[in-house]
Structure 1
Amino acid sequence: MARLMRWTYRIFVSAVILSAVSAVLVYYLATRSLPEYDADYSVTGLSEPIEIIRSNAAVPHIFASSDAEAWFGLGFVHAQDRLWQMVVARRTAQGRLSEVFGEDTADTDELMRRMGLYGTAQQSLAVQDEETLAVLEAYAAGVNAWIDTVNAESLGRGAPEFFFYPSIVEPWQPADSIAMVKLMALRMSGAFEHEVLRARMALFLTPDQLKDLLPDIPGDAVAELDAVGSAAVSPARQNRITDVPDMRAIPGQATMASSSDLTSPDLPLSPFPHRAFAGASNVFAAAPSRSATGASLLANDPHFDLTAPAIWYLARLELTRGGLIGATVPGIPGIWSGRNTDLAWGFSASTLDDLDIFLEELNPENRNEYVSPSGPREFTTREETIRIRDAAPRQITLRWSDNGPILPAWHYSVGDVTPPNHVAAVSWTALSPADTSVAAIIGISQAHSIETAIDAGEAMIAPSINLTIAESGRVALKTLGAFPRRGFRQTGQGRIPSLGSIAFNQWQGRLPYDQNPEFVDPDGGIVGNTNNKITDAPFPRHMTFNWGDSQRVQRWKFLMQNRRVHTRDSFIDVQLDEVSTAARTLLALVGAELWYSGTPAPDGTSERRRQQALELLSVWNGEMNEHLPEPLLYATWMRHLQDRLIRDDLGDMADAFTSVEPLFLERVFRDIDGASRWCDIVQTSNVETCPDMAQLALDEALIWIDENIGGTPESQRWGDQHEAWQDHSVLGDNGVLGWIVNIRQSTSGSDEALMRGRMIGSGKNPYANVHAASYRGVYDFADPDSSVFVLSTGQSGHPLSRFYDNLGELWRRGEYIPMSLDPELARAANAGISVLTPAEASE
């Protein structure tokens, strides 16, 4: 027994020592990839040295003797801090994730191959102008210089993730950056799911029910505000197209087709968003007439999926025409939101409907053909092989019709609305093989006037954005992106899939750029967008039927018009505003019959708990503050109420509505066009009223809180449930590693507040904040160097770096860091200074 104990002890000690040695070795290898900011590098591809000064927040300030070398420097720092992020994004666009991650990502790869996004990026390289091509080549050379440095100096493969997922890092190509812009467009687009969802609903809901559940945005278009407080309206005619296309009129659509339960957004590392998480943003500007200092102001906070690290990267470049600084995207040369010496710019997702689904009829005599308007036509096909790590390769046949690539039936469940003997094709502007969007981003970055920026924006194909621009004394807003030219007779109106065999359904090119909405030098001095409706132009010259916001814009108008003039700090207050207009509206409607009803009830009863909750909500102002209990009560109540209203009508299809739709609830409780019919449970013989449903939903919400959170309503804290989940895209699901690489923070805000924190809507914590403003910037021309910006995480993508999450706490608290072009300010307390020297000069 003593001998057994000795050997057990020895094995235990040996295991501990081995584990400790392994941990030390892993830590050593991981730290080898930590970038050194205070080191000089000899690199190829340069003709003159580049100086890179890292501010105390690790924001690189790049000084070079030529523009090409400055773009080289941006590529170098992007790769230095975000190489893993860039490699994964490129593999996503290429459909090559499975070479690294195995079978789990094979379906994602197949879908991306079928889309052909990367192939069109390669084709688009041929249409770039000389200046853009020179920037792309210089940027790629900078990325590759860092990759060569990692290999030459054994710098831990460039990122710690490469130890878990070995991958050959191939040289960066100019086409890769074009593909990154297309990937941004994909992440910002919810049009495909909108079309499929509306079509699925139209199969078994009446037109009136469809208008309730997926309503058109009411009210006037808003893009500029006048000086006395009312919103100015686009001069376009009101949209008189009110008829909803009937999916049941399409042959073969009387019954739903079956499709896989698999949907594209649920695939591992899928770039396809759920419609609730497509691109969003707030952007607004004030001319000198509305500024306390007599100089323009601009604020921007684009909303994307929260990730660690954030999608954005802060950088400053010194070009021959002056410095520029702002938010970049690793993999893409150019400033998406920022300023230079003369101009500031920001953007919001325009929600332009730039995508249509076409149902192609197969030729029953030859299934390699489809029925085109001119008769049977053979699909364009190509065989491809998806290589899969530790598994056999997958052979697929890619197919295209004249309308675009053919996609699988499980993509957003499009098979459910595809008639027998048909397949779904997609026309999307981002799939243009002549995509010059990267030229627009580069051109806007280097513009020094509103007119020059608008001219540069003509090159933007996708994503479509509302570009808001400010000079010192002027402001403007211009919608960028290719508008599809649809015919008046198109049966789907871009709202539901249409038959590709009908000539008048197909696109006829694009609308002229000068017809895109434009607001320059507004009389009222204010322009802005919250993804709200900015034009009332009728179909087919409309922008979309699916505007991204109907609530934030109301609060924005109030805050902007509540002051005659604004300051940088008031713009920051608007960005950080936590009040939900939807909460203020819905609580008054939904609780109208409940506030003063009921009978006295002892503690512990459902009646008493309901009264306590209503007492809390009765004095609440709709502020979605992380420290308050009321936001949780409100959010839980509305979530259960919506589900109760639609579940009996939709069954499992109710799962598609994971976010509360304020316009739907408002229509129901105002009984607009008889919408209160949703309150009656169709499976019962009783006729339930809306107050009945409101009471039942509140009781159900309180039970959910008790079972899932515990404690009394007064003890709850919104921020505990509304945590910002900034998770690592690959390592975040690993228990131990997830604790290291994920960034979780209590946050204020909500789906409908200007401080937008879109909730996940499902799972164990449906109120988690997963889609928000991961970048905020406010630009002040009265004192440009007092402009500010911040990220939701940090500059570095390395989890062991002190710059991995150092900005996150500032972001959570609503604080910022200086956005200065002053080189001396960057040098003060810098985190390091590097000099890139031409390899030839150092020999």
Structure 2
Amino acid sequence: MKTLKKIGKFLLVIIVLLLIAVGIFTYTLKPDYSGNKELSGLQQEVSVYYDDYGVPHIYGSNEKDAFRALGYVHAQDRLWQMELLRRIASGGLSEVFGPDLVDTDKFFLSLGISDATKQTVANLDGQNKGVELASAYLSGINQFIAEGPTPIEFYLTGIDKRDFVLEDIYNTIGYMAFSFAMAHKTDPLLTTIHAKLGPEYLMDLQVGSNIDTEWIKNYNPTSNDSVQNQLTAMVNNALGNLEIPLFEGSNSWVIAPEKTKNGKVIFANDPHIGFAQPSVWYEAHIETPSYTKYGYHIAGIPFPLLGHNREIAYGLTMFENDDVDFYYERPNPTNKDQYWAQDGFVDYEIVEKTIKVKDAQAVNFKYRKTVHGPVLNGIADQINGDRPIAMSWVYTQTENQVIDALFNLSFATNITQFKSTLPKIHAPGLNVMYGDAKGNIAWFATAKLYHIPDSVHTKFIYEEGQGLPVEKEWLPFHENPQAINPPSHYVYSANNQPDSIVGMLYPGYYLPENRAKRIVELLEPKNDWDLNSATQMITDVTSSVEPEIVYNLTKYIDISTLKEKELKVIDLLNLWDGNYELSSIEGTVYNRWVYYLLKQTFKDELGDELFSQFLSTHLMKRIIAPLSKNDASVWWDDVATNDREETINDIVNSSFEQALVSLRDDFGTNINEWQWKKVHTLEHTHPIGQIAALRSFFNVGPFEVEGSREVISNMAFPYDDTGLYKTSSGPSTRRIIDFSDVENSVSILPTGQSGNPFSRHYQDQAQMYVDGKFRKMMMNKEEIQKSKEILIFRPKD
């Protein structure tokens, strides 16, 4: 017995020592929010005050010192995120996660982002002010890498830390530019539908620009089906492997003084980006004698993409313009190494790459390039076929001035300076929103746009010798869609169709008018906007379009076949105002019904694979409203039945019945149990959180959430057979700047400032975000200096 007691005491001591060791190890991994540090390259001391939500307020005597400190504090909260984002475009994910990511690495390498980056950086002017500040920022990151604690993800994946260089900034921006990727999902699919089913099946798919929708108004006072299918599948697979933010859409509106209670501009912006943990934005406030900015930074990028100070505010939404084109190439029948280019056969350019793979041999692969761009066949296992498909993308084929653009946007002090730098943003297409303390408001669609002849439709794979010429006819920036101080006294963007330019509606992958219509509906009649009403609007969860869709569909319901409870459901739907609160029953029924309606309408013609691809496109979102009132659509007929031709009545009734059956199976016969909160949830997933044992440590949530896709609080989700709507993207921040009281402007992040799971700021905003609450974006120096946490950086001897 004494021996057992001794063993027990010994084991207890070991356990206590292990717990102490784990505690000490954990403590060493936490970010330092207070204390003193020496920082190489500093000229003078920099003070960093952390507020209650972990936002650093950086006070320096000059800009280089401030950006150097920014690099350090950004890295200690987001180094793992920086590491992942810089690896995507350069094909470095397999080195972290193993063979499953090899196809993804091949795909991103073939896009040519990293090659374009090398060329851009080689031509940079080292004396350029933007480059100097970017280098100072990188120096701060690299000192943290050398001296700071290693994030736990590096231990778990076994990768080594390495310094950041200018190429990493461009590669990260390049990935974010591509992440929209709607052309890759859409153009091959439409080409397949055209070849497989015929042109009549495209007429109802909202393929072209829509003249019957809510436009953003200008105001400027001055047939190889298998290869095509595989291409769409390859892109969906590559992006689906990434638990990393993808750009999706966005809202923004700016209200002029004439429509505000206090006679000053109110600016609102909520970019819609794929949810992940850490969330995409890192907030930082910098003050120097010559520079002030409260900015939102992407990991590894020194200049904020969203920002404000006491003079101006700016933000972004996706323009959604079409800047990617696909071309069939004609191979030489007697020489597989050649293709036809204008006047004869020429050799493909061969690009060789090597991918490092965790716990496996490195993978060597080659891909071909033509005058149009990379040939996608053979890059990943999904793409094989005899007809080479090449991709032309504006981002890699025009001069990249992104550092200059972001630097100048950040340092602009008025609308003239701000507008002058916008032509430097070539891709992705962005709606840049602007407001200032002098009362100016503006919207600019920024991108390198080009003339498209009437005979060319950009949403198909061009046959050899057709389509747009290699040398495009670029349009001057002043021709881009834009509005400056319009008579409406507001500007907005909701990724919807912009007004015409140079006699044409510019092609794109625009989202339906739902959010735009609601924004205009709320902005137009009201002339006393203030901060409180703006926060209510940015969290609005009501659709003004979906009740119209319900009205259109219920006209076809045969009520004589319905039982009492089913009639009650119809009554609820007919009285629905489109609200997506947690208790909404109508929202649950509506989405089940629409999914089965889409499935019965399109799957018989498309088949399982193409239907799944169709659901991932904006086409699906755009088609719902017009389809609900188009009883003549060719899609209504079920081609699997030979003895009859189905009509809209048949599909509407059978899909409604399927929806009710599925809801009863899932939640029982009590209609009151069919609440939105039971099907609509949000979980912020971390790449390592995919491991079941680590999910609760790294992931944040799940939460029951209000909102839906294509309402202002755009909590979007994919459709599938589960009948569950797991939110995949939404407002990556909600921010409102009121120029009548700038220091009390508000914001919120989906989870928290820090990407370090040991930080108390890892998820301290998550519940507030779900509840539609906000916190102050502090800019008052006296208030900031009351902070209990101060990190002092001093020059290193």
Same fold per TM (> 0.5)?
A: yes
- 1:329-352: CA deviations, max 9, x gaps? 111111212211210111110001
Note if 1:792 corresponds to 2:784: no
Aligned partners of 1:344 and 1:471 also within 8 Å: yes
Using the TM superposition, name which of 575-584 and 119-128 deviates more: 119-128
Structure 1 residues 474 and 504: CA distance shift in structure 2, 3 A: closer
Q: Measure, in 1, the Cα distance between the counterparts of 2:340 and 2:550.
A: 53
Match of 2:235 among 249, 264, 276: 264
Note if 1:477 corresponds to 2:446: no
Equivalent residue for 1:531?
Answer: 495
Aligned partners of 1:578 and 1:748 also within 8 Å: yes
Aligned partners of 2:194 and 2:202 also within 8 Å: yes
Using the TM superposition, name which of 27-36 and 129-138 deviates more: 27-36
Equivalent residue for 1:54?
Answer: 50
Alignment of 1:670-749 (within 5 A): 670-671=629-630, 674-675=632-633, 678-679=636-637, 682-710=640-668, 712-728=670-686, 730-743=687-700, 744-749=702-707
Note if 1:41 corresponds to 2:37: yes
Match of 1:819 among 750, 764, 777: 777
Name the aligned partner's letter for residue 560 of structure 2: G
Equivalent residue for 1:604?
Answer: none
Q: Measure, in 2, the Cα distance between the counterparts of 1:370 and 1:14.
A: 75
1:831 positional shift: 5.5
Equivalent residue for 2:80?
Answer: 84
Partner of 2:178: helix, strand, or coil? helix
- 1:578-615: CA deviations, max 9, x gaps? 112232111101112438x226x7xxxxx344223223
Match of 1:668 among 597, 619, 627: 627
Q: Measure, in 2, the Cα distance between the counterparts of 1:833 and 1:290.
A: 41
Using the TM superposition, name which of 106-115 and 775-784 deviates more: 106-115
Partner of 1:406: helix, strand, or coil? coil
Q: Measure, in 2, the Cα distance between the counterparts of 1:486 and 1:722.
A: 41
Using the TM superposition, name which of 160-169 and 787-796 deviates more: 160-169
Alignment of 1:315-326 (within 5 A): 315-326=284-295
Equivalent residue for 2:401?
Answer: 436
Aligned partners of 1:309 and 1:797 also within 8 Å: yes
Aligned partners of 2:210 and 2:497 also within 8 Å: no
Name the aligned partner's letter for residue 719 of structure 2: G
Note if 1:569 corresponds to 2:532: yes
Equivalent residue for 1:101?
Answer: 97
Aligned partners of 2:254 and 2:441 also within 8 Å: yes
Partner of 2:329: helix, strand, or coil? strand
C-alpha root-mean-square deviation of aligned residues, in Å?
3.0
Partner of 1:623: helix, strand, or coil? coil
Name the aligned partner's letter for residue 194 of structure 1: T
Q: Measure, in 2, the Cα distance between the counterparts of 1:96 and 1:608.
A: 59
Equivalent residue for 2:507?
Answer: 544
Aligned partners of 2:636 and 2:647 also within 8 Å: no
Partner of 1:800: helix, strand, or coil? coil
Name the aligned partner's letter for residue 435 of structure 1: N
Q: Measure, in 1, the Cα distance between the counterparts of 2:646 and 2:157.
A: 56
Structure 1 residues 732 and 21: CA distance shift in structure 2, 3 A: farther
Match of 1:135 among 128, 133, 136: 133
1:515 positional shift: 1.7
Note if 1:218 corresponds to 2:210: yes
Structure 1 residues 26 and 380: CA distance shift in structure 2, 3 A: farther
1:836 positional shift: 1.1
1:17 positional shift: 9.0
Alignment of 1:404-803 (within 5 A): 404-408=373-377, 421-432=386-397, 434-472=399-437, 473-486=439-452, 490=456, 493-499=457-463, 501-502=465-466, 505-508=469-472, 510-537=474-501, 542-594=505-557, 597-598=559-560, 607-652=563-608, 653-658=610-615, 661=620, 663-671=622-630, 674-675=632-633, 678-679=636-637, 682-710=640-668, 712-728=670-686, 730-743=687-700, 744-762=702-720, 764=722, 766-803=724-761
Aligned partners of 1:221 and 1:234 also within 8 Å: no
Instruction: Give TM-score scaled by structure 1 length.
Output: 0.87
Aligned partners of 1:477 and 1:528 also within 8 Å: yes
Using the TM superposition, name which of 810-819 and 757-766 deviates more: 757-766
Partner of 1:263: helix, strand, or coil? helix
Note if 1:118 corresponds to 2:114: yes
Aligned partners of 2:219 and 2:482 also within 8 Å: no
Equivalent residue for 2:198?
Answer: 206
Q: Percent identity?
A: 23
Note if 1:382 corresponds to 2:351: yes
Structure 1 residues 235 and 413: CA distance shift in structure 2, 3 A: farther
Q: Measure, in 2, the Cα distance between the counterparts of 1:686 and 1:96.
A: 54
Equivalent residue for 2:248?
Answer: 279
Aligned partners of 1:122 and 1:175 also within 8 Å: yes
Note if 1:401 corresponds to 2:367: no
Alignment of 1:175-324 (within 5 A): 175-219=167-211, 232=217, 252-253=223-224, 259=230, 263-267=234-238, 270=241, 278-324=247-293
Note if 1:173 corresponds to 2:173: no
Name the aligned partner's letter for residue 598 of structure 1: S
Using the TM superposition, name which of 41-50 and 631-640 deviates more: 41-50
1:629 positional shift: 2.1
Structure 1 residues 587 and 147: CA distance shift in structure 2, 3 A: same
Structure 1 residues 375 and 140: CA distance shift in structure 2, 3 A: same
Aligned partners of 1:626 and 1:746 also within 8 Å: yes
1:35 positional shift: 0.4
Equivalent residue for 1:243?
Answer: none
- 1:33-78: CA deviations, max 9, x gaps? 1101012111212222211111111100111111112221221111
Alignment of 1:128-167 (within 5 A): 128=124, 130-150=128-148, 155=149, 157=150, 159-167=151-159
Q: Measure, in 2, the Cα distance between the counterparts of 1:656 and 1:378.
A: 34
Structure 1 residues 726 and 255: CA distance shift in structure 2, 3 A: closer
Aligned partners of 2:190 and 2:459 also within 8 Å: yes
Structure 1 residues 325 and 279: CA distance shift in structure 2, 3 A: same
Aligned partners of 2:348 and 2:368 also within 8 Å: yes
1:112 positional shift: 1.6
Aligned partners of 2:68 and 2:140 also within 8 Å: yes
1:727 positional shift: 0.6
Q: Measure, in 2, the Cα distance between the counterparts of 1:400 and 1:522.
A: 46
Structure 1 residues 645 and 474: CA distance shift in structure 2, 3 A: same
Instruction: Give TM-score scaled by structure 2 length.
Output: 0.92
Q: Measure, in 2, the Cα distance between the counterparts of 1:583 and 1:220.
A: 17
Count of aligned pairs = 788
Aligned partners of 1:487 and 1:505 also within 8 Å: no
- 1:556-583: CA deviations, max 9, x gaps? 1101113133222222222111112232
Equivalent residue for 1:348?
Answer: 317
* Gap regions ≥5 residues in structure 1: 225-231, 237-251, 602-606
1:505 positional shift: 3.6
1:272 positional shift: 11
Aligned partners of 2:75 and 2:144 also within 8 Å: yes
Aligned partners of 2:310 and 2:739 also within 8 Å: no
1:199 positional shift: 1.0
Structure 1 residues 167 and 204: CA distance shift in structure 2, 3 A: same
1:550 positional shift: 2.0
* Gap regions ≥5 residues in structure 2: none
1:449 positional shift: 0.9
1:770 positional shift: 0.9
Aligned partners of 2:367 and 2:379 also within 8 Å: no
Q: Measure, in 1, the Cα distance between the counterparts of 2:640 and 2:684.
A: 41
